[in-house]
Structures are given as structure tokens and as C-alpha cells.
Amino acid sequence: MQYVNLDNLRFLLHEMLDVSQLRKIDRFAETDREMIDMTVEAAGQLGDNYLFPHYRSMDKDKAYYEDGRVYVLPCVGEGMRAMGENGYLNATWDLEEGGMQMPLTVVNAGQFALFAANGNIASYATLTAGAANLIRTFGTQELKERYLPKMMSGEWQGTMALTEPQAGSSLSDITTYYEENDDGSYNIKGQKIYISGGDHDSVDNVVHLLLARKKDGPKGTKGVGLFVVPKFLPENGTLVDNHVTTAGIYGKMGQKGYVAAHLMYGEQGETKGYLIGEEFRGLKHMFQMMNEARIGTGLMAAGTASAAYYASLQYAKERPQGRHPDNKDVNAPQVLIIEHADVKRMLLFQKAVVEGSISLLLQCSLYTDLSEHHSDEAVRERNHLILELLTPIAKSYPSEYGNEAVSIGMQVLGGAGYTDDFPLEQHFRDIRVNSIYEGTTTIHGMDLLGRKMLMHNGKAVQLLTEEIQTAIEAAMKYDATRGMATSLAKSLGGVQQVMQHLIGLAQSENPRVFLADATIFLDYFALHVLGWQWLKQAVAAARGLAGEGELSEVFYQSKLRTAEYFYNYELPKVSGHKRILLATERVTLRTTAEELI
């Protein structure tokens, strides 16, 4: 069964994004076309062999907690170690560190394929890679030598331990605290909840990247430090209990093979932690992993939506039902449901979400590569600002629209989609959490409107607008894309009008008025961003049909048809959002708690 289209990844990397431009950067000089294609192909093989075969079984034989231990299927550890052995966990690292100096753009294309194969196993591994990268960036040489080899081999799990019962996403209110010991270590005391990968028996150790506050230290985020807190302390070749206690795991709607644990530190003995970076800059350091995880969450959501799309597409191509409305002959054979216009509409929606999402995510990955490794400081700054602006959308659009895409996929199957004879119901349960992971959609809407749109006096918006204008100019050259370009250009004028209105509110009204509809603004702006991505894909497809590509004619025609769908069915939704954002009625603000009965 297909769950991802590797040709689409090659199309995005080579024909839309032109990742060959990265070879001009010394770090990526050896990353040629053959290496890139081999990396994508290897991800497909890893998915086929170690991840996809276990997707359904991890749901039916879910993780469980018993007598203080957490049990998962052996395939979790096997998959993690396979990804480690194949270099996927540290592929972006320096050659001297055991990495391959691979562009993040290429690695994330492969990660998308792995998430599509089995987002549960892939999440254990990518979470570990993120935690290891944080140690690599801010940790001492001793910490790197002690923890990174085992984490990068997939033998040890890594986590980010942030959330607490009383704090949730408000990290300034955490109460887990630390005290310094004479030997340079720190005693950690407190609880963490919803910790993904927090404990399981398929690895030998779990290494927590944990935020804690200095005991009797400053309030708010100023007193917060970042620590390595392992479940077991590696000492003289052995593993010693560090008294990280698992109180239990959460019963979840989906992702039943991907553990979310309630952890206690220092309850049954001393729990030692080791400071990473500067003492009171823990939250700043953690943002590196959080931003990586936001792109990762988008990849996970897009991957799950991809698997759901191909499952529903296969069903639609095999299931006969009904006849066309103009055929009243009951003796005529039924047609496959993929011949019905409304089924094609549903499939086009799924395809538009999946391929639009991964296009945006790889675009952001390219901005990351350029912002971190280009030799020109001005180029690095430009790409960094655009990346900052797009990150809330790259996390939220695949998550929110991925939910809807999988739901639509279930609708394609009809009653069969609601049964566990097909994977759609599992995809539906598994994907739902992505709009909650790494900050709810509301948080990202407030971040986008309240901070990212305004940062550096709107410079990031200006730079992104320049990128979009470049795509519009390129699209005006082709008959197939000229109408799309005109539609996007016209709609962008509305964005400027909305922003002027909202900035006026910010200057004259209570901030609650300005941010009341931030989530709607996020969707409004995201649809324009996805319009830009689909325009870029459509232009690349038009070039392909003109003989400048390497894929089949039907591939490029399918790409253009999906772009047409987006512009005719999805982009028009912005008009309703615009009316709401410009309205003077403030229903949500005027509604009192007592009126919600």
C-alpha cells in the first residue's frame, strides 16, 4: 500500500526549490543530485521495512504501564536503531561529529516519508534527534561525549520535559526546581506531564531535556534553567538509577503506541541534572528544540495526512458504486467512485493539503539551511526573518487542515472508513493531537499576529511579500498559471488592508481587541501563503510540461489540476475571513462567561 509519493518529493526538491543552489555553500558542496535522491529513496526503504508494517499493530497492541514500567512493542526500538544506523538522526551534523552535513531540506523530505510510514515510531526517533541537537549546541564536551553517541544510535531516547500540571503552556509558571550540588551537578525536584517518549522498555535509557526553576530564584522565565536529566546515570560503563519515576502514562485518543508519560523527579531519591548553557537562559536555549519540533509537528501531520490520502485514493479506485446522474439504466454497470465529481473534489482537497503542506515545510527547511550556513550575513538574516514569520503557519496549517483532510478521507470510504478494517479511523485519531502539540493553534495565531507580523517594523512581512511577488511574476509567463497569479496578487491587497485595520486597533484599543481573532487571522494569512506555494508548484509543473522536467506528463498535469482546485475552492475562503477581521462587531469579547450555558 502506498503512503507517500517519492516523485513528489523529488519534484519539490529539484524542480520547485532547486536545492542544487545549496551546493554553492561550502558545507554542502558534496551534496549532489545522486546523494539527495539516495537519501529520499533510503527513507522510503526504511519506512517500508521498519515503520509501515507496524503502524496498525502499535494501535491494537498499545503501550501500557504496569508495576512502574512502560511497555511498548519491540518494533519501536528496532525502528529507532535502524534510523540511527542509517544516519538519519544526525544527518545534518558535521562530518567530524559523525554526521553527513546533509541539508535540512533533504533530511526533512526523508522525515516526511518516515512520518507517513508510521508517525509513532518516527516521533520517538525525531524527538531524540532534537534533544541530542540541543545538547550538541549548548552542552559541555563532557555531556556530548556521555550522551550523544547512544542517542544518535537510537539506543537511548531523548525528550523535552516542559509541561507541568499547574502551568500547561505557561512556562513562566513552572515549579519544578533545582539546587546546586558541590560536584557541579544539580538536584531536581518536581513533576512533568504529557512527556512524549517519557519512558519505555524499548531503549536502555531516557534522557530528558528539562526546564526547572532555581529554588527561591527569580519568578517568571528569568529563573529558569535547562538541564540534562537522564533516567539512568552512565557511570563507569554501567547505568545507575537516577530516581526519575514514571507515575503512569496517559490514555490517548490516538497515537496509542507513542507514550505520553507523567514523570516525577526527586520523589524516591535524589535526581541529578546537569546544566546546559547559561543558568538562567533555559527557555531561550529550549526554543531551539521547540522551533525544530514545530516544523517536526507539521511534518508529522502532513505525513499522516499523506498516508490517509493514499489509502482513500486506493479505495476510490477499487470501489464501484452508483452511476452518473445522466445514466438511469439500472442494468448498466456501476462506476468506480473515483469517477464521481464529489469524490474527486474530496480527493483533490486531500492532495492539495498534503502536497501544499510538504511544499511549505520544505520551503521553511530551505530557509533554515540558508539562514544558518550561507556565507553572506544579509542573506542569513533575510532567510531567518522569513522563517520566523512562516513557522507558526508551517506548524498549524498541516495540523489543522490535516485533521480535515483525514476526515474527508474517511468520507471517501463512507461507512467502511469508520471501521478498523481500514486505516483511516486510526489516521483520524492519530493526527488530531498535532494541532495541540508544540502550542495550540490559538497560541500560534497570537504569536503570528501579535509578534511575527510586527517584528522589525514589519520587515519579515515585506521580505515574504517580495518572495510572493517573484512567484507571481514567474507565473505570469505561462497560460496555465497566469489566472492563479492574478488571483493571488489581488487577494494580497486585502491582506494589507486587514493589517492596517488591525494595527489601528492595536494602537487605539485594548490588546484583547487586537488579538481576539488571531486564530482567524492565522488561517487567513496561511491560505495566502499556501496560495504562494501552490503557485510555485504550478509554475514548476508548467515548465515540466514544456519539456524542462524529468517526470511524466500526467504527474505535471495532476499538479496543475490540484493547483487549480486550490485557487477555485480554497483561496476564496479568505473573503469570509476578511469580513470577520474587518468587522466592528465583537461578539466573542462581549459574550460573558455567564452567557455560555
> Among the options 15, 388, 438, 564, which is catalytic?
438
Q: Which stretches within 257-374 are classed as H helix?
A: 282-318, 341-373
What angle, rounded to 10 degrees, do the helices at 104-138 and 33-46 form? 80
- Where b means 16+ CB within 10 Å and e means fewer, 573-597 reads ebeebbeebeeeeeeeeeeeeeeee
What is the grid cell recorded at 204?
536502555
Closest CA to 157 of 193, 128, 126, 119: 128
List the beta bridge partners of residue 206: 157
Cell numbers given for 487: 488571483
State which amino acid sits at residue 20: S
Task: Calculate the dihedral angle through the C-alpha atoms of 277, 283, 289, 294, rounding to the nearest 10 degrees.
Answer: -170
List Cβ neighbours of 154 (8 Å cut-off, separation of 6 or more).
77, 79, 80, 81, 82, 83, 84, 85, 89, 125, 128, 203
Three-class DSSP category at 373: helix
Q: How far is CA 221 from the centre of its chain?
A: 25
List CB contacts of 587: < 8 A, sequence separation 6 or more: none
3 state SS of 488: helix
- For residue 223, count other CB atoms closer than 10 A to its CB: 20
Alpha carbons 226 and 232: distance in angstroms, whole number: 18
The answer to whether residues 393 and 360 touch, using CB atoms and an 8 Å cutoff, is yes
- Taking the C-alpha atoms of residue 385 and residue 40, their distance in angstroms, rounded to an integer, is 28
The yes-or-no answer on residue 438 being catalytic is yes
**CA 315 – CA 346 distance, rounded (Å):** 13
> Residue 360: what are its φ and ψ, rounded to 5°?
-65, -40
C-alpha cell at 68: 512502574
Q: Which residues are annotated as catalytic?
A: 438
